[in-house]
């Protein structure tokens, strides 16, 4: 053992070990993301080349197998059903992850703030709150994102594409997540339950925000000082009041418009 840093995934541990051994990581020239092998890098590059691009929504996948799984969401085939709430999924993996909502199991823990998650992808997304990493950049407005899927969804702001339609009121949405959230207002379903107090929520995002009340997690860190906050709004207010970050940008805008 060289240091006592801990990881939830072996892949992340292997990448970290290279910092001690002086070994090389494989870096993507498009977004700067580092991967542990040439094969992983080659698969990752498929996201940028659009080799495996969904013709329905434009999302780019790393492999043909990943694209095939993604297409199931458009076909409406969801053969895997939850025994607790009857929600259905396109793969057994998604069902296993979903079942953790009911069991309260959260095997993926952030080593910086101890926030826990049901899926590795959720943890990886959360870690970027601490690092500020946003490698995916929009070529039209320069806005950056932490995930390629978020960039694909953002592009619909420019194209106006809304491929997801509500079967009840025919309202259309740019992402499946927004459609799912909308559908719950028709059904009043609240499938996301707090493992600490049992309170239920319509979306996983609402649940995550609520759980911080119990855990005391403060995932939003100030880049100027050591302060951390539970809510993003608190961080924004802190940046404005303590570091004049918002006021400075406002002054620049006022001068440029004068």
pLDDT digits (tens, 9 = 90+) for 137-170: 888 888 888 777 788 888 888 988 888 888 888 8
pLDDT digits (tens, 9 = 90+) for 215-232: 888 888 888 898 888 888
Verdict on whether the full-model pTM lies above 0.75: no
Place of tokens 């924004």: 236
Smallest CA-to-CA distance from 208 within 237, 227, 188, 232 is with 232
Smallest CA-to-CA distance from 122 within 138, 141, 106, 135 is with 106
3-state SS class at 195? coil
* Token code pair at residue 181: 């959230």
- Are 231 and 220 a contacting pair, CB within 8 Å? yes
């Amino acid at each position: 053992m060289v240091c006592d840093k801990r990881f939830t995934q072996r892949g992340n541990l292997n990448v970290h070990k290279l910092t001690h051994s002086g070994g090389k990581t494989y870096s993507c020239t498009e977004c700067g993301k580092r991967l542990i092998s040439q094969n992983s890098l080659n698969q990752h590059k498929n996201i940028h080349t659009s080799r495996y691009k969904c013709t329905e929504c434009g999302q780019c996948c790393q492999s043909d197998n990943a694209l095939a799984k993604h297409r199931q969401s458009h076909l409406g085939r969801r053969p895997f059903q939850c025994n607790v709430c009857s929600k259905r999924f396109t793969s057994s993996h998604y069902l296993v992850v979903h079942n953790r909502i009911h069991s309260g199991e959260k095997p993926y823990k952030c080593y910086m703030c101890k926030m826990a998650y049901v899926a590795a992808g959720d943890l990886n997304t959360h870690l970027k709150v601490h690092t500020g990493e946003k490698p995916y950049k929009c070529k039209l407005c320069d806005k950056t994102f932490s995930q390629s899927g978020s960039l694909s969804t953002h592009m619909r702001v420019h194209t106006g594409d809304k491929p997801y339609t509500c079967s009840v009121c025919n309202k259309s949405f740019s992402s499946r997540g927004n459609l799912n959230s909308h559908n719950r207002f028709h059904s009043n379903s609240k499938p996301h339950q707090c493992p600490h107090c049992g309170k239920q929520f319509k979306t996983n995002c609402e649940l995550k925000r609520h759980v911080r009340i119990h855990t005391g997690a403060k995932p939003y860190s100030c880049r100027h000082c050591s302060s951390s906050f539970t809510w993003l709004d608190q961080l924004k207010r802190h940046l404005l009041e303590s570091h004049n970050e918002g006021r400075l940008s406002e002054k620049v805008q006022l001068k440029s418009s004068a």
